[in-house]
Amino acid sequence: MAADMAVHCDSFEVALQAGPDIAEITGAIGRIVAEAGVREGSAHVCALGSTASITTIEYEPGAVEDLKRAIERLAPPNQSYAHEMTWHDGNGHSHVQAALLGPSIVVPIRNGALRLGTWQQVILINHDIHRRRRTVEVTVIGRA
């Protein structure tokens, strides 16, 4: 890695209700980017846990509700899942929902800030049937 390259790792936690529950986390990621002192690079953002996901959306009530409904249509909770036949824990749909959306994203950093669209925010989703305290890992890589 070049001498002017920096790597900064940090994490934060978010309490979420039973899923799908969605929290906007752009500000928390932005604070980590600011602490890292990276001017140009990227932030890799990853939710820990097999029933959590991260994506972007315009974080407003209508779009959030639309996303929740779409998630439930993709993998409805009232269907039969092989996972439940093995574990009998009732959250087979939670694993499928999270896998379809994915656990991580990469956001560009330009001029020391996250480079997102005007109406684009980063969100964390809990798909599990229980409340969860989710850990989000952020790795910032770039030039200082």
How high is the pLDDT of residue 4? Answer: 86
The distance between the two most distant Cα atoms of the chain, rounded to a whole number of Å, is 54
Full domain range(s) for residue 34: 5-143
Which CATH number goes with the domain that contains 101? 2.60.120.460
Give per-residue pLDDT as tens, 105-144: 999 999 999 999 999 999 999 999 999 999 999 999 999 9
What is the count of structural domains for the chain? 1
Give per-residue pLDDT as tens, 87-103: 889 999 999 999 999 99
Give per-residue pLDDT as tens, 8-60: 999 999 999 999 999 999 999 999 999 999 999 999 999 999 999 999 999 99
Q: What gap in Å lies between CA 76 and CA 92, rounded to an integer?
A: 10
Strand partners, 107: 43
